Amino acid sequence: MNEIAIKQCSIIDPGNTYEGINDIYIEDGLIKLIEPSIGLAADKVIDAEGLFLLPGFIDMHAHLREPGFEYKETVYSGTRAAARGGYTSICCMPNTRPVIDDEASLSMLQKIIKKDAAVKVYPIAAISKGQKSTELVEMNKLSEMGAVAFSDDGRPVATAAFMMKALLSAKEKGFMIIDHCEELSLAEGGAINKGRKSEQMGIRGIHPLSEELNIMRDIMIAGNTDSHIHIAHVSTAGSAETIREAKKRGVKVTCEVTPHHIGLTEDIITPGFTDCKVNPPLRTAGDVEALKEALKDGTIDVIATDHAPHHKDEKSEDFYSSAFGISGLETAFSVCYTELVEPGILTLKELSERMSKNPAELLKLDTGIIRTGIAADLVLVDTAREITVNRNDFLSKGKNTPIHGKTYKGDIVYTIVDGNVAYENKNRL
């Protein structure tokens, strides 16, 4: 029996069941009691006075790199980084080697997860065999084995015809299709956002239309087929407006944004600073403001990290040869709290909705809120504490972050997964 008592925490519950200062009693992995004061003995007692208790964060979009790219990240290292970031559940993308596109590859991944994961890991399988947009995977079989959604991830679904086929196939059983929206003819060869900064630096840019056109395509197909499409890592004002208008028309479209796309702009890019190279690229200040507004009005449903760890040698000083991607699991909450809650764009409860409740609902997980009888997947945060990002302290193998040395408000104190402490902040005074 494993019992944890959390004393005098301030509960933030996006499910609207519990609020205010309470004690929480956890037994055998479940939340057993939530009351103003609980006097029961426990194996571990956490003094949470001055701390906020939230449902554990759920990341719909992360790269664990295993199998095949263990030099970048592993399930072991990536899930411990996730726990440090307050995540109790993460979804891993299928662009591994082999691609997660059949029963054998998914079974291999599931064995690794069972052996090494520090948090719950839900695989996302590919939409097409080899991510080639020519042959659909066996969605029924892969779903039965634990795949929670389907995405070709960094490779956009190549044609409208194949996207229609995928959406219709997914619709039959209620599967979710996630698309990386990119019109490659407007993006290939680009390294940063096409605009003032790319012209100034003489670097080929990725046009905002490369994202926006594919989003329009997907929305039109989803509307025509009455299917659900989820758009990954929205980055432009135009994308946000297109999704907003589609939702008003009743199209079944949802979407996500990353912490780096709401916390950074192309203005930070300097020669050789390739840790800020990411796809989609960092955009303009106007885009960032539009994305924040879209989070505020509910156009953007979810905050997901797109955690993309790389070996240091893959982040060369040359923008063209350097890999796309930012390592973001361990800093996501601090960035989001500072950029969204501190200035009053979102409340802490609304942030919890975007990071826990909404992804749980989309993934059909019985979590993302706080109530008795469900798994104790929880995070305790100190919103008064400042942190200074230090890549060298990351638990992730990926040290590729553009915010090294920057200071943010909000820190993770405890992460609890199934009633077990997955992370405890030993540095907190």
Residue 1: pLDDT band (50, 70, 90) is: low
Residue recorded with tokens 């520090």: 118
Please provide residue 373's backbone torsions phi and psi, each rounded to the nearest 5 degrees.
Answer: 90, -10
Output the domain CATH number for residue 259.
Answer: 3.20.20.140
Q: What is the DSSP letter of 282?
A: P
Please enumerate in sequence order all residues whose Cβ is within 8 A of that of 313, keeping only pairs 6 or more positions apart, or say none.
none
- Considering the domain boundaries, does residue 383 fall inside one? no
| 105 belongs to a structural domain | yes
Instruction: State the Cα–Cα distance between residues 22 and 43, nearest whole angstrom.
Output: 19
**Phi, psi torsion values for 205, nearest 5 degrees:** -105, 160
Q: pLDDT tens digit string along 121-147?
A: 999 999 999 999 999 999 999 999 999
Q: Which residues constitute the domain of residue 227? A: 56-363
What does the pLDDT average to over 221-239?
98
For 351, phi and psi rounded to 5 degrees?
Answer: -65, -40
* Residue 429 reports pLDDT greater than 70: no
- Please identify which of the residues 306, 377, 382, 411 carries the catalytic annotation: 306
In a domain, 15, yes or no: no
Asked if residue 245 belongs to a domain, the reply is: yes
pLDDT in tens, 271-311: 999 999 999 999 999 999 999 999 999 999 999 999 999 99
pLDDT tops 80 at residue 428 = no
State the average pLDDT over residues 3-30.
96
Structural domain includes residue 406: no
Indicate the average pLDDT of the chain: 97
Model's pTM, two decimal places? 0.97
236 has pLDDT over 70: yes
The number of angstroms, rounded, from the C-alpha of 126 to the middle of its chain's C-alpha atoms is 17
CA angle 174/178/179 to nearest 5° reads 140
Which region holds residue 268: left if phi is over 0, alpha if psi is between -120 and 50, else beta?
A: alpha
Flag whether 203 is in a domain: yes
**What Å distances lie between residue 22 and 11, 53, 241, 378, 395, CA to CA?**
7, 10, 41, 14, 32
Q: What is the largest CA-CA distance in the chain?
A: 66
Question: Cα dist. 379→6, 228, 333 in Å?
Answer: 11, 30, 11
97 found inside a domain: yes
Per-residue pLDDT tens for 175-185?
999 999 999 99
Q: What is the pLDDT of residues 354-392, one digit of tens each?
A: 999 999 999 999 999 999 999 999 999 999 999 999 999
Q: What is the three-class DSSP state of 310?
A: coil
User: Alpha-carbon distance 247 to 140, whole Å?
Assistant: 28
Distance CA 66, CA 249 (A): 40
Average pLDDT over residues 30-57: 97
Domain count, the chain: 1
306 is catalytic: yes
Pick the closest to residue 407 from 304, 328, 330, 338 (CA basis). 338
pLDDT at 2: 87
Query: Is the residue at 39 inside a domain?
Result: no
Digit-coded pLDDT (tens) for 187-227: 989 999 999 999 999 999 999 999 999 999 999 999 999 99
Bridge partners (DSSP) listed for residue 124 = 149
Is-contact 52 383, C-beta < 8 A? yes
